[in-house]
């Protein structure tokens, strides 16, 4: 049966209007602007130019291309375009060589519409939406095993404390050879991890081979909620190094826990300095970036957002609390590179603007836009760019990035030289531009050595705090 063209168009329009909308981060409404008695009346623009004389003969001048683009289209034209979409959809259904999947056709059309806006808008099918929520929550149903691939075999790096794997007796350096009696040989690391994850309360048998044990060992485990570790910390002498890998819901909790653990290990003696490592951190939740910045700031703006709608424009401020009071006198260095994006740049920019931290490394990615996740119910969700963000000093880093106070380049292995640099946001097709703002045209390195001793940026930051290096920007002195 063929849909009448107008019916297909109406169906398309209905599919694009969700019954309920859920925004990933709720943004407080901005205060109403105060009325200025000296301001011009609503129908009078300030510094208004005199009206132009009408064209000879009384004809209106042709609108410029910019004026045509800014003018709202006639609703009938919009519905005519939707009618065209419906006609094409109808012809594909009826005449394509093989019967198409109609749901996938519509989803592909939605995806095309969203991705035509900018590189960060897009459609999330239900499975992708579930994965995104799991990623941002920092929690999933699983066993609690950190694994790696070694010569084609899944090797346990370590079990996570208080998880099913740790309680069952899984040990570091165990090799996982079977999952539910099915060989894992030939699976990719991601495929093996996906098989170990699953619904809470479900069971799985994991077979491991352990050095020094003759026979394979079987473990029956029940999947539980696993919180991904967003923050890892270590002490390098008297310097605390906090590595934040992603701004999930575990980000601020991880930073707070790490700082308290540092003080507990040192019997409440403050470290000589703190290094916050945000290199290759792709970002995440805006609210978590505010919380993390607030951990190091006692007052002032953290980030400003400006959108097309009033509710998308807001200012987020830091507030004094016990955590920032605890580390108020501890010098802070933030490491960034070409892979530090979005929420990482919000934190780095705020700490730089407030002169709370010295930034070391290479230029950041340059993603200065905010995406809202809008639920489409059982049909998944859409990721839509709804605002631009600005640092406290009103800097937009869109397609430009944040420059470190001290540029330190890594020693890149010869085989990776030239392949370790990315232009960042400015190199993405269709990225949002800001009129009058320059954009970066050269790459920034994303290379970070595995061994700390080879990490030039980390070692420089440690020497800076220890006094082996000096620079006017360190220690940062807040105003």
Of 245, 289, 342, 444, the active-site residue reads 342
Is 367 an annotated catalytic residue?
Answer: yes
Is 135 an annotated catalytic residue?
Answer: no
Q: Residue 427 to residues 113, 264, 345, 366, 419: CA-CA distances in angstroms?
A: 21, 45, 17, 10, 15
Of 367, 369, 372, 379, the active-site residue reads 367
Of 353, 379, 405, 420, the active-site residue reads 353
The number of residues making up the chain comes to 479
Q: Residue 193 to residues 146, 206, 438, 460: CA-CA distances in angstroms?
A: 9, 12, 43, 36
User: Rounded to an integer, what distance in angstroms lies between the CA atom of residue 159 and that of residue 144?
Assistant: 6
User: Rounded to an integer, what distance in angstroms lies between the CA atom of residue 214 and that of residue 243?
Assistant: 39
User: Rounded to an integer, what distance in angstroms lies between the CA atom of residue 233 and that of residue 257?
Assistant: 10
Q: What stretch of H or E contains 112?
A: helix 102-115
The upper half-sphere exposure of residue 361, i.e. CA atoms within 13 Å in the direction of its Cβ, equals: 32
Residue 405 · residue 359 · CB < 8 Å: yes
Distance linking the first and last C-alpha atoms of the chain:
71
- Token pair 């006198």 in the structure block, residue: 329
User: Rounded to an integer, what distance in angstroms lies between the CA atom of residue 107 and that of residue 40?
Assistant: 48
Q: Is 55 exposed, middle or buried (0-12, 13-18, 19+ CB in 10 A)?
A: exposed
Residue positions annotated with a catalytic role: 342, 353, 367
């Amino acid at each position: 049966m063929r849909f009448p063209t107008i019916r297909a168009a109406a169906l398309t329009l209905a599919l694009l209007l969700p019954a309920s909308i859920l925004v990933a981060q709720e943004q407080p409404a901005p205060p109403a602007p105060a009325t200025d008695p000296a301001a011009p009346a609503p129908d009078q623009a300030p510094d208004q130019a005199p009206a132009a004389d009408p064209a000879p003969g009384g004809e209106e001048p042709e609108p410029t291309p910019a004026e045509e683009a800014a003018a709202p289209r006639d609703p009938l034209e919009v519905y005519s375009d939707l009618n065209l979409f419906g006609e094409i959809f109808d012809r594909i259904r009826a005449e394509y060589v093989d019967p198409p999947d109609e749901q996938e056709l519509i989803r592909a059309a939605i995806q095309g519409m969203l991705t035509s806006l900018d590189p960060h808008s897009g459609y999330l099918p239900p499975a992708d939406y579930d994965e995104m929520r799991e990623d941002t929550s920092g929690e999933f149903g699983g066993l609690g095993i950190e694994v790696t691939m070694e010569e084609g075999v899944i090797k346990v790096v370590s079990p996570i404390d208080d998880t099913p794997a740790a309680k069952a007796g899984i040990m570091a350096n165990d090799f996982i050879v079977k999952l539910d009696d099915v060989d894992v040989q030939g699976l990719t690391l991601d495929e093996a991890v996906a098989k170990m994850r699953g619904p809470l309360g479900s069971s799985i048998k994991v077979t491991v081979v352990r050095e020094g044990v003759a026979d394979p060992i079987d473990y029956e485990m029940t999947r539980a909620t696993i919180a991904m570790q967003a923050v890892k910390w270590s002490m390098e002498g008297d310097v605390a190094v906090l590595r934040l890998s992603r701004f999930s819901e575990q980000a601020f909790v991880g930073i707070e826990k790490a700082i308290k653990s540092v003080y507990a290990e040192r019997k409440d003696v403050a470290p000589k300095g703190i290094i916050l490592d945000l290199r290759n951190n792709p970002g995440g939740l805006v609210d978590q970036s505010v919380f993390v910045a607030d951990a190091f700031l006692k007052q002032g703006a953290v980030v400003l957002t400006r959108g097309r709608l009033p509710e998308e424009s807001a200012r987020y401020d830091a507030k004094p609390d016990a955590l920032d009071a605890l580390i108020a006198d501890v010098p802070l260095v933030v490491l960034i590179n070409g892979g530090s994006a979005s929420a990482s740049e919000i934190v780095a920019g705020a700490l730089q603007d407030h002169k709370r931290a010295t930034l070391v490394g290479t230029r950041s990615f340059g993603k200065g836009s905010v995406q809202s996740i809008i639920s489409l119910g059982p049909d998944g969700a859409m990721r839509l760019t709804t605002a631009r963000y600005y640092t406290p000093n009103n800097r937009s880093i869109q397609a430009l990035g944040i420059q470190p106070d001290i540029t330190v380049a890594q020693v890149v292995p010869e085989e990776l030289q030239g392949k370790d640099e990315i232009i960042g946001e400015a190199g993405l097709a269709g990225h949002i531009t800001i009129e009058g703002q320059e954009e970066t045209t050269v790459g920034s390195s994303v290379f970070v050595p595995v061994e700390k001793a080879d990490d030039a940026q980390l070692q420089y930051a440690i020497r800076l705090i220890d006094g082996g290096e000096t620079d006017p920007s360190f220690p940062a002195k807040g105003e």
